[in-house]
Amino acid sequence: MTSRAFLNSVALLLCAGFSTSALAHNPMCQCKAIDAEQIQCTGGFSDGSGAPGVTLDVIGYDETILVPGKLGADSTLTFKKPNAEFYVLFDAGPGHVVEIDQADIEAP
């Protein structure tokens, strides 16, 4: 095997190894009602990593932002349940977005 062929083989193996790790983290978000007034959402990724600082907005059906927010150091955000119909948008960037409709939020 020539040194050029060897280097190409090594480069191919390295690229294959990096590409699988790049695909191993899908966004995840779960919201549950703590009581009749408060909702807590937790965000993270399928590889087990948290999502502190990631945008999590509560948006009305008319597309107005009712509660702008970011996940805290523990990857959670607790907010007062809006009076209007809403959904939660976890937005960690392109391809890493999760929407949760109010009807899908777990009851206390």
Residue 4: the pLDDT is: 53
Split at pLDDT 50, 70, 90, the class of 72 is very high
Task: Say if CB 29 and CB 41 are below 8 A apart.
Answer: yes
- Tell which wins on pLDDT, 16 or 82: 82
- Span 45-64, average pLDDT: 97
Residue 25: the pLDDT is: 85
- For 32, the enclosing helix (H) or strand (E) is strand 27-33
Tell me the domain boundaries of the chain: 25-104
- Tell which wins on pLDDT, 49 or 8: 49
Give the chain's count of helices (H) and strands (E): 1, 7
Q: What is the CATH number of domain 25-104?
A: 2.60.40
Nearest to 30 by CA among 99, 108, 91: 99
Percent of the chain with pLDDT over 90: 73
Residue 64: the pLDDT is: 97
DSSP 3-state assignment of 107?
coil
Residue 15: the pLDDT is: 46
How much is the mean pLDDT over the chain?
A: 85
pLDDT at 34 over 60: yes
Residue 17: the pLDDT is: 45
Q: Which amino acid is at 43?
A: G
